[in-house]
């Protein structure tokens, strides 16, 4: 009896080599990015979202540029809080007789609460025109209310491509409660590098779509906060008490230092003259908003300052007033440390040696 023939089976597949495994892994990693890229292109094709460019072509004259009203939106978590600035035209092609100055800052710099008639840059323009009648001056104010050094740095990075002859910077009071500040309702985190990275990502339409969806859900399920009678800055206050020398206090100082150093480094490398000033506030007539006893009591220092002022000892009164401002836990006014950073970064801006801060 003959043995049955053995059925020959197909040879087993060749084992997957290490090279092929890495190719499969690479494809698996790239697929989500490819999907996001296609979604981004589709959103742009159908004109979803908004352009965050610093300037746009003037609707009335294509030969001029104007401050983009949507430029600030990437700095605000809540888009309803995003602010708009002046719409001052300047030439798309700068001629040889034009001296162009950009202004960066916050509420004071834009002229709040007087705006167009109260902003210092209009006085400066008038003075320059009178002093140098044969020269054409363009002073473009890019300041906004409810922002801080994050917006100042972001606008600074963009304006260097528009042939500035000088830049004026006045900022510091909104460092804690301005958009993305460590004590604001729009805060993301304490790391300036992380915050600036997220700001850059907000130029993407995909991120704008996600932000819009998140805000709609948050408003639908969250309690509605009353905005009646509140200023924009009051709506931005998240942490009403930031004690002196607390973690949040130092995060605000580090935030300002990092952003200002980066800004001055940029202007220095591009050989752009910068005029930056220390910030001022009413100390004698404005008592501290919140006084915490553990902080050496801001209110006590203020009262001592009033007493010394009435006695005619103005130097000592100034010391007490300044200390009361720095100890004030509601940080609408910049502490002394902010003004301490300004001279250091200004030396760096004009080409001097960089000091260790």
Mean pLDDT computed over every residue of the chain:
87
pTM: 0.85
Please say whether the beta carbons of 283 and 324 come within 8 A. Answer: yes
Beta-carbon count within 10 A of 71 CB: 24
Query: Using CA atoms, how far apart are residues 141 and 302, in angstroms rounded to an integer?
Result: 35
pLDDT at 17: 64
* Rg, C-alpha atoms of the chain: 27
Q: What is the pLDDT of residue 352?
A: 44
Three-state SS annotation for the chain: CCCCCCCCCCCCCCCCCHHHHHHHHHHHHHHHHHHHHHHHHHHHHCCCCCCCCCEEECCCCCCEEEECCCCCHHHCCCHHHCCCCCCCCEECCCCCCEEEEEEEECHHHHCCCCHHHCCHHHHHHHHHHHHCCCCEEEEEECCCCCCCHHHHHHHHHHHHHHCCCEEEEECCCCCCCCCCCCCECCCCCCCHHHHHHHHHHCCCHHHHHHHHHHHHHHHHHCCCCCCCCCCHHHHHECCCCCCCCCHHHHHHHHHHHHHHHHHHHHHHHCCCCEEECCCCCCCCCCCCCCCCHHHCCHHHHHHHHHHHHHCCCHHHHHHHHHHHHHHCCCCCCCCHHHHHHHHHHHHHHCCCCCCCC
> Shortest CA distance to 148 belongs to which of 182, 129, 171?
171
Instruction: For residues 300 and 290, give the distance between their C-alpha atoms in angstroms, rounded to a whole number.
Output: 12
Reported as a single tens digit per residue, the pLDDT across 9-26 is: 555 555 656 777 888 788
- Give the tens place of pLDDT for each residue, 32-42: 888 888 988 99
Quote the pLDDT of residue 355.
37
Instruction: Please determine, for residue 54, whether its predicted confidence score (pLDDT) is greater than 80.
Output: yes
Contact, 309 vs 301, CB < 8 A?
no
CA distance 85 to 67: 7
Tokens, residue 223 = 């309690």
Q: Tell me: the pLDDT tens digits for 263-297?
A: 999 999 999 999 999 999 999 999 999 999 876 78
Q: Higher-confidence residue: 39 or 152?
A: 152
Q: How far apart are CA 44 and CA 52, in angstroms?
A: 13
Percent of the chain past pLDDT 70, that is, above it, reads 87
Please tell me the predicted confidence (pLDDT) of residue 7: 52
Predicted pLDDT of residue 354? 41
pLDDT for 301-310, tens place per residue? 999 999 999 9
User: Residues 6 or more apart from 120 whose CB is under 8 A from it?
Assistant: 109, 111
Least confident of 106-120, 133-147, 246-260: 106-120
pLDDT tens figures, 161-186: 999 999 999 999 999 999 999 998 88
């Amino acid at each position: 009896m003959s043995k049955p023939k053995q059925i020959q089976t197909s040879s087993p597949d060749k084992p997957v080599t290490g090279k092929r495994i890495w190719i499969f892994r690479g494809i698996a990693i790239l697929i989500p990015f490819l999907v996001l890229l296609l979604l981004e292109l589709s959103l742009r094709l159908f004109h979803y979202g908004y352009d965050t460019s610093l300037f746009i072509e003037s609707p009335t004259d294509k030969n001029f540029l104007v401050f983009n009203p949507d430029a600030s939106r990437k700095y605000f978590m809540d888009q309803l809080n995003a602010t708009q600035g002046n719409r001052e035209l300047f030439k798309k092609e700068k001629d040889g007789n034009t001296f162009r100055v950009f202004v960066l800052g916050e509420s004071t710099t834009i002229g709040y609460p007087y705006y167009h008639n109260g902003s210092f840059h209009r006085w400066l323009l008038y003075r320059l025109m009178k002093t140098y009648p044969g020269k054409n001056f363009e002073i473009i104010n890019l300041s906004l209310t409810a922002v801080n050094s994050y917006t100042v740095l972001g606008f600074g990075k963009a304006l260097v491509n528009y042939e500035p002859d000088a830049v004026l910077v006045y900022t510091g009071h909104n460092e804690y409660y301005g958009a993305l500040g460590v004590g604001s309702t729009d805060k993301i985190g304490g790391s300036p590098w992380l915050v600036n990275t997220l700001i850059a990502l907000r130029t993407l339409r995909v991120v704008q779509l996600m932000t819009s969806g998140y805000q709609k859900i948050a408003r639908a399920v969250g309690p509605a906060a009353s905005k009646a009678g509140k200023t924009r800055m009051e709506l931005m206050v998240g942490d009403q008490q930031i004690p002196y020398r607390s973690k949040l206090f130092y995060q605000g100082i580090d935030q300002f230092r990092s952003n200002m150093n980066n800004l001055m480094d940029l202007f220095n490398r591009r050989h752009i003259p910068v005029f930056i000033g220390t910030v001022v506030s009413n100390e004698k007539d404005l008592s501290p908003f919140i006084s915490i006893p553990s902080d050496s009591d801001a209110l006590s220092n203020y009262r001592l300052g009033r007493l010394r002022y009435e006695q005619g000892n103005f130097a000592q009164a100034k010391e007490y007033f300044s200390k009361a401002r720095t100890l004030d836990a509601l940080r609408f006014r910049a502490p002394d440390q902010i003004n301490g950073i300004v001279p250091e970064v200004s030396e760096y801006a004009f080409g001097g040696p960089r000091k260790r801060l």
